[in-house]
Amino acid sequence: MNAVAQLLSGNLRRRIDLGRVVDGPAQGRWWATVLCAGFDSAVAERANRMRWPRGHLRYDIALFAELARLHPMPLAVDTDDDHIELLATLVAIGNGDRYGGGLRMCPQAQLDDGLFDVTVAEAMSRRRLMRVLPKVRNGGHLGDPSVRTLRVRTVRVECPSWLGYADGEPLAPLPLTVECMPGALEVVAPHV
């Protein structure tokens, strides 16, 4: 309680951005950290359906089960400046830099810069994906030639067979258009 009292009395308030769905089946929904679709949302969906085991082992099992089913899909990404169509493994729209227990999928994203960092992983074989995945812990995957990033205010992602997950929860099937809403939420937290 002392730490909370210190934060509140120290006037350590800051405003952070939020993501908002502006078009698509979840129009009007808000989210704070990362919206993802593709391989990572399939892993989360499978893990959420599993009743056993508990904890991180559930996600490890779900990851290997989804790896066996890996099929890159046609993805379209539209921004104000770019239109990209490619076979992709996943897309992550980061307002924040991490998700899933500390995975730094969008390592350069900042909660208060008014922009999203969009990470797109092109089609990868199972073997290549298994080499890239461990690098996500520290953001090293951005050095892989199959991974690209965009910095945008608004983005539309479209792949009819993918389900979007935001803040670790199911959001809606793609297509979705999302916009970064600068300073939308005031929080009590130290400035970093």
Q: Give kind and range of the element (H or E) at residue 131.
A: helix 126-132
The pLDDT-based confidence of 101 (bands split at 50, 70, 90) is confident
Contact 75, 158 (CB under 8 A): yes
Q: How does 103-131 read in b/e, with b if 16+ C-beta sit within 10 Å?
A: bbbbbebbbeeebbbbbbbbbbeeeebee
How does residue 8 score in pLDDT terms, banded at 50, 70 and 90? Answer: low
* Per-residue pLDDT at 191: 60
Strands 34-38 and 83-94: antiparallel
What's the distance, CA 171 to chain centroid?
A: 12
Determine the Cα–Cα distance for residues 105 and 140; give it in Å rounded to an integer. 9
Query: What's the count of helices (H) and strands (E) in the chain, helices before strands?
Result: 4, 11
For 87-99, what is each residue's pLDDT tens digit?
999 999 999 999 8
| Confidence class for position 102, pLDDT limits 50, 70, 90 | confident
Q: With H, G, I as helix, E, B as strand and everything else as coil, classify residue 6.
A: helix
Q: What pLDDT shows up at residue 54?
A: 85
pLDDT band at 173 (very low <50, low <70, confident <90, very high): very high
Q: Tokens at residue 82, please?
A: 């770019």
Element at 19 (helix H, strand E): strand 13-23
Q: Return d(Cα 79, Cα 179) in angstroms, integer.
A: 10
pLDDT score, position 45: 92
What is the average pLDDT across 14-42?
A: 95
Tokens 């009007």 locate to 28
Of the pLDDT bands very low, low, confident and very high (cuts 50, 70, 90), residue 5 is low
pLDDT, residue 76, reads 98
Domain residue spans of the chain = 2-36+72-188
Q: What is the pLDDT of residue 59?
A: 87
Residues 95, 118: contact at Cβ < 8 Å? no
pLDDT tens-digit series, residues 46-70: 998 998 898 888 888 998 999 999 9
- pTM for the full predicted model: 0.91
> What is the arithmetic mean of pLDDT over 9-24?
88
CATH fold of 2-36+72-188: Tumour Suppressor Smad4 (2.60.200)
